[in-house]
């Protein structure tokens, strides 16, 4: 894993469930970091075109009424593709966010960087924690990274980027 990268686009999605083949994105955020500093934030609620299960709403707080007037992922895909360009993508537990992003972008006929190109702070957190699950919340708490609203895409993406910067600089 490349752990010396300080320019990247942190990505987070909130979803209707856990399986990218069956469930859909309801919120997406991309937070650009350049030379170790936050350089821009873009986020949007996403109308998934299906009801949001109550158990998903219980996690992220996003319900059907919140996304009723939101754009579909198909409408957002061109902008997402543009924002992903230029820097490697980063996500906490990258296979999860990659899976959903790849599925949504494929439905829109657009490419996404391969998973091997993604940065992921999760292995850095796991290597330093000697207990329990290495969730984003746990990593942020243990390593002093602010996470104002867990399970909201912009806050999670920002926290993942800051956690990467904190832990990759300690090596």
Q: Is 164 exposed, middle or buried (0-12, 13-18, 19+ CB in 10 A)?
A: buried
In the block, tokens 């061109």 appear at: 78
* Res 164: pLDDT: 98
- The string of pLDDT tens digits covering residues 117-126 is 999 999 999 9
Using pLDDT thresholds of 50, 70 and 90, give the confidence band for residue 72: very high
Dmax over CA atoms of the chain, in Å, equals 45
What tens digit of pLDDT does each residue of 85-101 get? 989 999 999 999 999 99
Kindly tell me if the per-residue pLDDT of 171 is higher than 70. no
The domains located in the chain, with CATH, are 8-169 (3.30.420.10)
DSSP secondary structure of 79-104? HHHHHHSSS-EE-TTHHHHHHHHHHH
Residues across the chain: 171
pLDDT at 90: 98
**What pLDDT, in 10s, does the model give residues 149-169?**
999 999 999 999 999 999 998
Read off the pLDDT of each residue in 8-20 and give the average, rounded to a whole number. 98
């Amino acid at each position: 894993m490349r752990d010396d990268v300080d320019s990247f686009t942190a990505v987070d999605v909130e979803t209707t469930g856990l399986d990218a083949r069956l469930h859909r994105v309801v919120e997406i955020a991309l937070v650009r970091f350049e030379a170790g500093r936050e350089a821009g934030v873009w986020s949007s609620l996403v109308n998934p075109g299906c009801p949001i299960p109550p158990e998903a709403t219980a996690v992220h707080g996003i319900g059907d009424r919140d996304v009723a007037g939101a754009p579909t992922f198909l409408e957002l895909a061109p902008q997402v593709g543009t924002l992903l360009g230029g820097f490697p993508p980063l996500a906490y537990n990258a296979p999860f966010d990659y899976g959903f992003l790849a599925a949504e972008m494929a439905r829109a006929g657009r490419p996404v960087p391969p998973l091997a190109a993604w940065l992921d702070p999760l292995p850095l957190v796991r290597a330093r924690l000697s207990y329990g699950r290495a969730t984003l919340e746990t990593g942020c708490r243990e390593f002093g990274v602010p996470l104002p609203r867990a399970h909201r895409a912009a806050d999670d993406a920002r926290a993942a980027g800051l956690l990467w910067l904190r832990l990759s600089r300690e090596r």
